[in-house]
Chain A
Amino acid sequence: MAFLNIDSVKERTFDAIVIGSGISGGWAAKELTEGGLRTLVLERGRDVKHITDYPTTMMQPWEFPHGGQLSKEYLDANPIASRCYANREDASHFFVKDAEHPYVQEKPFDWIRGYHVGGKSLMWARGTQRWSQYDFDGPARDGFAVEWPIGYKDIAPWYSHVEKFAGISGNKDGLPQLPDGEFLPPHEQSCVEKHFTEQMAKHYNGTRPIIIGRCAHLTKPQPIHYQQGRAQCQNRSLCQRGCPYGGYFSSNSSTLPWAAKTGKMTLRPDSVVHSIIYDEKKGKASGVRVIDAHTKAVTEYYAKIIFVNAACLNSNLILLNSTSNRFPNGLGNDNGLLGKYVAFHNFRTTISAEYEGFLDTTTEGIRPNSSYIPRFRNVFKQETDFLRGYAAGFGSSRMTSADTSGIGEDLKASLMQPKYGNWRVGSHMMGETIPKEKQLHCFGPESDRSVGHSTATYFGWIRRQRREDDPGFS
């Protein structure tokens, strides 16, 4: 009997455990298995296999019953999940429904999640800009938040390592505030975007450059990408469905199959990590407690190395759940900071306009990317009354439309001859927010061990940052 137990423990012992299979978990799995370590990858949700589990990926627009629109029933039941722009009829099966993992909002907070193998690497927006030393310098300069213990020169080689494998398209722009990387050929700017870029350069003496976004698309695959089983991006821009070509980077198309190929990875979907086991004698984390998402059975797994890659909030939740005599308030939480100082992305401001020029031109094909306005505020010195800065996407396109005032043959004739309108341009900002203690996510006791119910409280917002774009905002 004792013998059997020893065998069972042995079977559940690995060199390393990775909690989560999203972008960072996939990378941990790849690096660890490549290094020869037997690695257990735990994913709380269902398995999503590359290609075979992308049910909508080859569907034509007219094959969707509601032309892409989500049903009223879905919208009523999922006010949070449906706020993500990518959650439409073709991809809603990848978004966690509000009732699957509810939480209390004292202030609005959209917690968009993908509980499945690959996580949000399937539905992400694929923008991959490097940080510069100026971004690392922020806390030291303005005194808010903790100074970074590392700088750009420490991270630059890792950026290169990741970019080469993932495949990043971009232009070498030579900007100190947005360092160049290991780029595949860039996408093209439209004539209107080029014009805007030139006008901005004139207007602001080159202080507000606009570039083509750097993004995780294989514009010209290299041998390393073919070895992953990926092929060139086909410019479908249907990425949120999962890409059958592996044209953009996801854990499913890239790091996880790579890790699997080593023979060192054990991937275990439907495995919700409850907590990390702390060995009081050794003074070390020694394993994890896993709840089976279906049977609710608890199993322990052991390893010397444990990577927590469960995204921001669930990583905090796991550590807070990991109580022991030594750490009564959660693993590594002697300072009581777990669940606090959570910072957010401010991306609430968008703007759009028409441009009356370039009427004899348009675009051709599809671009899964846009132009990009790197951060220009408070980069080299503090110059405004708000902290840090914001970047923005900038895109343009020329749509056709038709006069729909008539009925019958008049209406049809008009629809059959759509006319080009003006160019339309649009921009959305992405602002850095300062983590404050008040931005507290306090997690309540779990009423159901399989799904942590959490109370999300979110105070404060960097209002001034938004006000700069929107004078009407106060």
Chain B
Amino acid sequence: MQRRSVLKNLAIGVGGLISLPAWASNWTPDSIGNVSIVSFNEEALLGELVETFIPQTDTPGAKSLGVHQFVLRIIRDCYGQSALTTLQQGLGLTDATAQQTYSKGFMECDAAQRKDVLTKLSASTDPVGKPFVDMVKGLTIRGYTNSEFYLVNVQKYVMAPGYYHGCVPVQKIAVNGTR
């Protein structure tokens, strides 16, 4: 009898969830769309930058998870004007450094060359170089580790675990894959 009322109550819960306001269910990363604080080309460049930090292997890289969009969103909405300036100048500096070193744009460089350009930027005497690399790298890591792919597959995130155990062997976690 009690079980039946649990089920009934859960059903009420699910019924309620279906009637969420439209803006709530529409509010997903896909629907937020492009973030136009940089040009289309610059956005593409940033896509290759985040991909250089975390490349595609047998698992997705940062670009295919849209991490460059996250980076732009955070800089636009959560950081100040100076961060935006660092981003814009840094993107220019990235291409300039690639031109200087390899006589071609960053987009045309291969993976090893791109890594080299970022390492050079980090050690650059240009005051924008290191802050730019640090900011984009930090946000790339944050965006990647906050992605659905990472949270579900690596962190084994479960929204509603339904339990808490205060003391379990670490090995058990590795096997069960639940944190």
Chain A residues within 8 Å of B, Cβ to Cβ? 50-52, 55-63, 65-67, 69-73, 187-191, 193-194, 221, 223, 226, 229-232, 234-236, 238, 244-246, 358-367, 400, 404, 407-409, 411-412, 415-416, 418, 420
Contact = CB atoms under 8 A, between A and B. Distances in A.
Interface in B54-93: 54-55, 57, 59, 61, 70, 73-74, 77-80
Given A51-B17, A62-B146, A189 B74 contact: no
B102 interface: no
Given A400-B155, A408-B55, 12 more contacts: A51-B13, A55-B20, A70-B78, A72-B77, A72-B78, A72-B79, A223-B2, A226-B9, A360-B171, A364-B163, A404-B141, A415-B150
A415 B2 CA distance: 45
A71 B78 CA distance: 4
B166 A190 contact: yes
A242 to B, nearest CB: 11
Interface of B: 2, 5-6, 9-10, 12-13, 16-17, 19-21, 23-24, 27-29, 32, 52-55, 57, 59, 61, 70, 73-74, 77-80, 111, 115, 118-119, 137, 141-148, 150-151, 154-155, 157, 159-173, 176, 178-179
A177 B131 CA distance: 54
25 contacts: A51-B17, A60-B151, A61-B151, A61-B157, A67-B142, A69-B74, A226-B5, A234-B161, A235-B160, A236-B161, A244-B16, A360-B170, A361-B169, A363-B167, A364-B165, A367-B166, A400-B155, A407-B53, A408-B55, A411-B53, A415-B54, A415-B145, A415-B154, A416-B154, A418-B154
B166 A191 contact: yes
Contacts of B61: 412
A407 B52 contact: yes
B73 A60 contact: no
A55 to B, nearest CB: 4
Contact of B17 (A58, A367, A415, A418): A58
Nearest to B28: A63
B165 A55 contact: no
Contact of A361 (B2, B19, B119, B170): B170
A188 B166 contact: yes
Given A56-B24, A407-B115, A65 B2 contact: no
A441 to B, nearest CB: 34
A282 to B, nearest CB: 45
Contacts of B119: 407
Given A52-B19, A62-B151, A415-B141, A366 B13 contact: no
Q: Which 8 A-B pairs have the closest CB atoms?
A: A51-B16, A191-B167, A55-B24, A367-B164, A234-B160, A190-B166, A188-B166, A365-B164
B158 to A, nearest CB: 8
B146 A231 contact: no
B53 A408 contact: yes
A74 B61 CA distance: 32
Given A62-B147, A409-B55, A364 B168 contact: yes
Contacts of A226: 2, 5-6, 9
Given A52-B19, A52-B20, A363 B166 contact: yes
The residue in B6, B61, B79, B167 that gathers the most chain A C-beta atoms within 10 A of its C-beta is B167
B52 A408 contact: yes
B168 A411 contact: no
Contact of B115 (A367, A404, A408): A408
B90 to A, nearest CB: 15
Given A73-B77, A364-B165, A67 B146 contact: yes
B161 A235 contact: yes
Contacts of B70: 67
A297 B120 CA distance: 67
Contacts of B147: 62
Contacts of B16: 50-52, 244
A188 B147 CA distance: 30
A362 B170 contact: yes
A231 B13 contact: yes
A60 B148 contact: yes
Nearest to A420: B170
A54 B80 CA distance: 30
Contact of A66 (B13, B73, B145): B73
Contacts of A52: 16, 19-20
Contacts of B9: 226, 229-231
The residue in A360, A407, A416 that gathers the most chain B C-beta atoms within 10 A of its C-beta is A407
A365 B151 contact: no
Contacts of B162: 232, 234-235, 365
Nearest to A404: B141
Contacts of A400: 155, 179
